[in-house]
Structure 1
């Protein structure tokens, strides 16, 4: 059975119990290698996949099949454009957490016809309209509402459920939920699921940072929680650069940052 990472010591006890309950009722078939294989070869449910955002960077280490110096796309997300799953051409709504001054995904979404609500507490800039349909707030995504001190800054943190209530979006379809929050996904996403916040989300794209055993356990928990709540992985990709790689005993680098796209099968069957 899946060994569940209990998240941080401060995590809401009810959420941790919910995660344990969800996983205890769903025996893992085979070992984790099978899960990794499934993610490496996602189900071909979505026939129309598109790449949004990202920029080309030089590969700064030798990776299998990618020689040093060859450019690779980084910061991109895969979007399913299949009917009923893909964002509407007009009136689509996207929540995007984690910007770090890279607006390529959000600007592509705006070009497509979407309104984008963007959030990042680390940029030290006030709330503003980045463009006509992209509104930014210096807030971080978490499993609690409050303030933390990080990098000598005070960061305002909030739960997804709080934002939905504030924006009157509790019953609104969220076309895409994009998350790149440097490891905090292992606490924020379970909180979303526990509160039923993903029921109206068509698809979710998120980066994972699997650089420790605990973060690997956190990802397996997210994987099972999503699949047990009607989501299916349709795309996965590594993000190769030195900030997301570690050297192994052979002297080569192993990537530990991956970006996944899961779709809500609630919409796929219509």
Structure 2
């Protein structure tokens, strides 16, 4: 049998040593990252990202440059949800409408049979509420413009309806509506604040895992109060149907200031830890704005999902913190 002699040249030895050293350094870096992750609250969360739709500067507080600047900013995602699920929705004029997206990532997941959903602005479509209830959430539905007897809720065990509207103040308003070509009915709608609704339900200390707000342009007066008074501290996912169709009939010189005020409201959500995870323009003809300057048409109505990353882990840590020491 012939002997095989292995001859290691200086160059081969150097390359072997270099490869060994690089491998050890790689393992060391991985180990350090794992140690750091175990000490970081939001270590498993998707990183802050920016959508390819926009190459804007990170300083989004700058004044808007033009109309399209607003819609470019609002469609720029700030975090990535790895497990996005669609709840509900019906087709209208060939387009899916009233669907809501829910993130099932571990740090914000709605835990079945232990989650609360507030649904402001139900309308005649309860598909989102039905699906969320069958998933295992308690659904509290609100809308002063519909008659409860006309709602087709399919899971009465977990769905509760209240004829209240979300507003920045308390008042009543009459509505004359038609349902399925039936004669119009007169409804007396009650509007009140988020704080008042929480008190009525006895939910002051209850977490709201999913807050849906579809209140037809009233979000611009409600959101600042929710931010200012800390009512979003117990909210994990915030789904807003954003309405900016007021610019359609506004004088040209008023359009940009209006959008600037809207943007400031949405930016205030970031101060509370909410990041845009999903965005979809609503393809409804009545909400299209034609920008003559650039000869472009824009949808002024859109669905946005905000996530407060690390919400579930924060709750876990809060529940296991030792009680504060009280001096007697």
Which whole-Å CA distance do the structure 1 matches of 2:235 and 2:171 have between them?
25
CA shift for structure 1 position 126: 6.3
2:202 and 2:196 map into 1 onto residues whose CA distance is: 10
Deviation at 1:217, TM superposition (A): 3.9
CA–CA distance in structure 1, aligned partners of residues 170 and 231 of structure 2: 16
2:247 is the alignment partner of 1:222: no
Greater relative contact order structure (CA < 8 Å, 6+ sep):
1
Which consecutive residues of structure 2, in runs of 5 or more, have no partner in the other structure?
A: 1-58, 177-185, 248-254, 315-328
Q: Does structure 1 residue 120 correspond to structure 2 residue 143?
A: yes
1:221 Cα offset (Å): 2.6
SS of 2:265's equivalent in the other structure is: helix
**Preserved contact between residue 126 and residue 137 of structure 1 (Cα < 8 Å):** no
What is the match of residue 276 of structure 2?
233
Unaligned stretches of 5+ residues in structure 1: 1-25, 59-70
Q: Who wins on radius of gyration, i.e. which is larger? A: 2
1:202 has 2:236 as partner: yes
* Residue pair 1:208, 1:219 contacting (<8 A) in 2 also: no
C-alpha displacement at 1:216, in angstroms? 2.8
Equivalent residue, structure 2, for 1:17:
none
Aligned to 2:197: 163
TM-score computed with the length of structure 1 as normaliser: 0.76
Corresponding position of 1:174: 208
Once the two structures are TM-superposed, the CA of residue 44 in structure 1 deviates from its matched residue by 3.5
Give secondary structure in 2 for the equivalent of 1:89: coil
Report the CA distance between 1:251 and its aligned residue: 8.5
CA distance in 1 between partners of 2:62 and 2:199 (Å): 38
Comparing 238-247 and 72-81, the one that deviates more: 238-247
String of CA shifts for 1:217-251, please: whole Å, max 9, x gaps: 44313211101121111111011122322455598
Distance 1:205 1:101 in 2: 18
Higher strand proportion: 1
Query: Aligned to 1:41, which of 76, 91, 94?
Result: 76
CA distance in 2, matches of 1:128, 1:169: 24
**Does the 8 Å contact 2:90/2:98 carry over to 1?**
yes
Offset of 1:115 from its aligned partner?
0.8
Q: Aligned pairs, how many? A: 233
Name the SS for the 2:109 alignment partner: coil
Q: Which runs of 4+ in 1 moved over 6 A?
A: 126-129
8 Å CA contact 2:290, 2:298 repeated in 1: yes
Deviations 1:110-154 (A, max 9, x none): 121111000101113469993221111111100112223455753
Measured in 2, the distance between the counterparts of 1:215 and 1:136 equals 34
Structure 1 residues 150 and 57, CA, compared in 2 at 3 Å: closer, same or farther? closer
